[in-house]
Amino acid sequence: MLQEHIRNIAIIAHVDHGKTTLVDKLLRATDAFRDNQQVEERVLDSNDQERERGITILAKNISIGYHGIKINVIDTPGHADFGGEVERVLKMADGALLLVDAAEGPMPQTRFVLRHAIDAGLSIMVVINKIDRDGANPEKALNDCLDLMMDLGATDGQLEFAMEHVVYASAANGFARLDPTDGNEDMFPLLDMIVDALPAPDVDVDGPLAMQCVTIDHSDYVGRIGIGRVYSGTIHDGDRILVVKNDGSRAMAQVKQLFTFDYLGRKECQEVVAGDIGAVVGIDGTDIGDVYTDPDNPVELDPIEIDPPTMSIVFEPSTSPLVGREGDVVSGRQLKERLEQERENNVTMHIEELPDKTGMEVSGRGILHLSVLMEQMRREGFEFQVGRPRVLFKRGEGGERLEPIEQAVVECPGEHSGKVIELFGNVGGTMSNMEAGTAQTHLEFRIPTRGIMGLKNRILNVTHGEAVFYHTFLEYGPFAGEIGTRQNGAMISMSTEKAVAYALGTLQERGQLFVGPGTECYEGMLVGERSRPGDMVVNIARTKNLGNQRSSTADISVQLTPPRAFTLEEALEYIMDDELVEVTPKSIRMRKRILNETERRKWRVRHGMVDK
């Protein structure tokens, strides 16, 4: 039975192609806000980091009312590191809006999300966005979308639907058109097409209850909240239900509260009918994939499988000499409690304590996925240190060693393409496609995840900042052998003092500095990078020796190059196995794991890394 008063749609796109802005304009077009209400741009990106990074991290549900029809909209992350969100929430949708930039066309992460939408059998409507920007070519963007759908194995029905249902839009300017030149200035053509063309949920309203939890919210007051779609029957507030786990185990529970989505918020209700999306309170320990069903007539649904983590990092309490100066949460017990809380809330991460109790191992889908957690914790006042990210290997059916493989795409001027190809070759990458255009060359590679770390900066260096670089997890493949690591050595501070301009002036002739005058440094801290291999211990507090004929200021005119600043992700990609990143609310520092030079030398001798 079709629930004609409901539409469930997901919006999928590459990072920065405008899907969150598009949702903003749909909300405004349907009078979701009062005339005098102050509303921020990109209202769905409610997380501080989402606003600062300009990306969607968490999938979010809202609903829009239009001509008496409730449109449940799922705004999905476009970045592959948050793929755990995408895979699950698409199960709640019947159709999808594929949003593509009119100038850039489909990008690598469009492929990632679109593959899941096609596999889920969704009807896909194409929205060509930013048709007013310079270089826009809507016709080419549409053809590229259709080609991509064919490559990903779309059915004939999906391809025909996409060809017949195309909308041209400028989300930033608030208009959608059926023809790029028809002059319409509002969003109603898009809303009309959603209502008229995308399928309504086809469900059994009178059947036994079947609802599957696809995402988890958490409240300090009521615990876990299971969010999902009702596939058949109706769930009521106060119902006694059967909870069937992914592993087949079963338990009884009672619904204590029930919510549906209403514009930007949730509205408490007495029932959620088949086809709609709801949030259930009262299921202790509920998890992704749990099926809420009728105890007397249970319904079986396919379990939800989440792609496993591909990378892990060890979190440890900070042992820096400067610990406690910038943050107020520094103990190992507090760090452990915070990460155990994250394990409750974030099912896409695996978090376990190390056997020796020295730290917590956190596994996720990529460096960005892990660094978002670190960034959140440092904003909460935590100080901690983390080791070098390491990829997670698997064993194949024949016992062979497998590692995560990424698809990487580089767009760069043609004269730099040779250097880019050489860079990928040095880190185990193999080129799978090359398209030379008049202005830009499009390069595609298969590369082990290990080789991705630190690659972005090197690509930007050899292309003079003109390259665009994307990568997304592709599959587990055969181990690619040893991959070269950082070639240049580090400059390491020999003492705990503030950096002095005179000392830095002599050091910058030997490489690139990471600190400026007056920066608090400590023994074992990385203060720069040498221009040749091998680490070098340096004195960052050395001052000029004074003779009895000169004042302290005479002949001193130090011209310092600005130090290189690292983001959290860049620092994680830069460090080596014997180094750590120290994270505090105000600073990101890199250091040696063993701070004292004598102790470091003894450790290297014990491990056969240097001659005695």
Q: What is the pLDDT of residues 292-344, one digit of tens each?
A: 999 988 888 888 776 678 889 999 999 999 998 988 889 999 999 999 888 87
151 marked as binding residue: no
Q: Is 272 helix (H, G, I), strand (E, B) or coil?
A: strand
Cα–Cα distances (Å) from 4 to 149, 158, 200, in that order, read 28, 21, 5
pLDDT of 53 higher than 70: no
- Residue-wise pLDDT tens digits, 144-159: 899 989 988 899 999 9
16 marked as binding residue: yes
Tokens representing residue 456 in the block = 């972005």
Q: Is 291 helix (H, G, I), strand (E, B) or coil?
A: strand
Of 30-44, 315-329, 397-411, the least confident: 30-44
17 marked as binding residue: yes
Tokens representing residue 115 in the block = 């593959």
pLDDT of residue 308: 74
328 marked as binding residue: no
Of 34-38, 90-94, 494-498, the least confident: 34-38
Listed in order, the ranges of the chain carrying CATH 3.30.70.240 are 394-478
Contact present, 377 and 384 (Cβ < 8 Å) = yes
**467 DSSP assignment:** -
pLDDT of residue 556: 52
Contact present, 278 and 57 (Cβ < 8 Å) = no
Of 57-61, 164-168, 349-353, the least confident: 57-61
Listed in order, the ranges of the chain carrying CATH 2.40.50.250 are 490-546+556-607
pLDDT of 529 higher than 90: yes
132 marked as binding residue: yes
Q: How far apart are CA 174 and CA 186, in angstroms?
A: 6
Of 74-88, 101-115, 137-151, 524-538, the least confident: 74-88
pLDDT of 232 higher than 70: yes
Cα–Cα distances (Å) from 499 to 131, 519, 520, 565, in that order, read 51, 5, 7, 16
| Residue 601, Cβ density class (10 Å: 0-12 exposed, 13-18 middle, ≥19 buried) | middle
pLDDT of 161 higher than 90: yes
Contact present, 91 and 304 (Cβ < 8 Å) = yes
pLDDT of 54 higher than 80: no
Q: How far apart are CA 413 and CA 438, in angstroms?
A: 9
Contact present, 73 and 9 (Cβ < 8 Å) = yes
pLDDT of residue 91: 83
Contact present, 572 and 389 (Cβ < 8 Å) = yes
**Interval 386-401 mean pLDDT:** 88
Alpha-helix residue ranges (DSSP H) falling in 205-304: none
307 marked as binding residue: no
Listed in order, the ranges of the chain carrying CATH 2.40.30.10 are 210-293
256 marked as binding residue: no
pLDDT of 405 higher than 60: yes
131 marked as binding residue: yes
**Interval 243-250 mean pLDDT:** 85
Higher per-residue confidence, 467 vs 609: 467
394 marked as binding residue: no
pLDDT of 394 higher than 50: yes
pLDDT of 32 higher than 70: no
Contact present, 119 and 149 (Cβ < 8 Å) = no
**604 DSSP assignment:** H
Report which of 496, 534, 503 is spatially closest to residue 517, judged by C-alpha positions. 503
pLDDT of 494 higher than 90: yes
Residue at 356: amino acid letter: D
Instruction: Give the total residue count for the chain.
Output: 612
Q: Beta strand 166-170 with 123-129: parallel, antiparallel or unpaired?
A: parallel
Listed in order, the ranges of the chain carrying CATH 3.40.50.300 are 6-197
pLDDT of residue 352: 92
CATH of 210-293, picked from 3.90.920.20, 2.40.30.10, 3.40.718.10, 1.20.1280.50, is: 2.40.30.10
pLDDT of residue 132: 86
72 marked as binding residue: no
**Interval 223-249 mean pLDDT:** 87
pLDDT of 490 higher than 90: yes
**What is the architecture, at CATH level 2, of domain 6-197?**
3-Layer(aba) Sandwich (3.40)
What is the longest distance spanned by two Cα atoms in the chain?
99
Contact present, 162 and 122 (Cβ < 8 Å) = no
Report which of 475, 478, 412 is spatially closest to residue 443, judged by C-alpha positions. 412
CATH of 490-546+556-607, picked from 2.60.120.650, 2.40.50.250, 3.50.50.60, 3.40.50.1820, is: 2.40.50.250
Q: What kind of fold does domain 394-478 have according to CATH?
A: Alpha-Beta Plaits (3.30.70)
Higher per-residue confidence, 522 vs 345: 522
